[in-house]
């Protein structure tokens, strides 16, 4: 099911939903780090997790400026993002990365939709652009590393 994050009709909801998306992503990364056998893969995934933490910081700064109550965790989608990784663990590291790549597909789509959204103002736009660039880089690595 395609994500609707990024299609909100006001900046408050857009920032709040991007924060929830980022918390979902961090939870999926935590699950992935716990399950990977490859130290090299774990190191790269930990780096990507730090990118998501930086996104939360930047989005949180904007949420503060908008007076948005910042979500501190993900939502029900977190069960989907972490569950895919947990199930893939049965088949090993490459399957885990493929599950994470499907999560990244959703995150890339959300950031692309947010970038195309007219409610993204001059303060928010650079944060969205950086998030989109990071998500594309994460997905590209997972496509290459996961076979």
Query: For the segment 12-69, what is each residue's pLDDT rounded down to a tens digit?
Result: 999 999 999 999 899 889 988 988 999 999 999 999 999 999 999 999 999 999 999 9
Q: What's the confidence (pLDDT) of residue 1?
A: 53
Please tell me the predicted confidence (pLDDT) of residue 88: 45
pLDDT for position 146: 64
Question: Rounded distance, CA 37 to CA 79, Å?
Answer: 22
CATH topology for 11-67+92-145 is Ferritin (1.20.1260)
Q: How far apart are CA 93 and CA 75, in angstroms?
A: 26
CA–chain centroid gap for 45, Å, is 12
Residues 6+ apart with CB under 8 A from 98: 88, 142, 146, 147
**3-state SS, residue 51:** helix
What gap in Å lies between CA 25 and CA 104, rounded to an integer? 8
pTM of the predicted model as reported, rounded to 2 decimal places: 0.88
Q: What CA–CA distance (Å, rounded) separates 144 from 116? A: 27
Dihedral (CA of 16, 69, 84, 32) sign: positive
What is the pLDDT, as a whole number, of residue 55?
97
Count of Cβ atoms closer than 10 Å to residue 65 Cβ = 11
Structure tokens at 18: 């991007």
Q: Give the model's pLDDT for residue 73.
A: 59
pLDDT at position 107 is 93
Stretch 65-92: mean pLDDT: 61
């Amino acid at each position: 099911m395609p994500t609707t994050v990024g299609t909100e009709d006001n900046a408050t909801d857009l920032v709040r939903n991007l924060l929830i998306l980022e918390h979902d992503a961090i939870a999926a990364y935590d699950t992935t780090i716990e399950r990977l056998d490859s130290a090299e893969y774990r190191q790269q995934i930990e780096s990507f997790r730090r990118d998501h933490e930086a996104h939360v910081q930047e989005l949180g700064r904007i949420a503060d400026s908008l007076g948005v109550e910042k979500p501190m965790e993900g939502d029900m989608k977190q069960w989907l993002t972490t569950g895919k990784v947990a199930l893939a663990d049965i088949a090993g590291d490459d399957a885990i990365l493929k599950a994470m790549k499907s999560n990244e597909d959703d995150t890339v789509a959300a950031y692309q939709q947010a970038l195309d959204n007219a409610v993204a103002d001059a303060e928010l736009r650079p944060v969205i652009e950086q998030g989109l660039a990071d998500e594309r880089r994460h997905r590209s690595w997972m496509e290459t590393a996961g076979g």
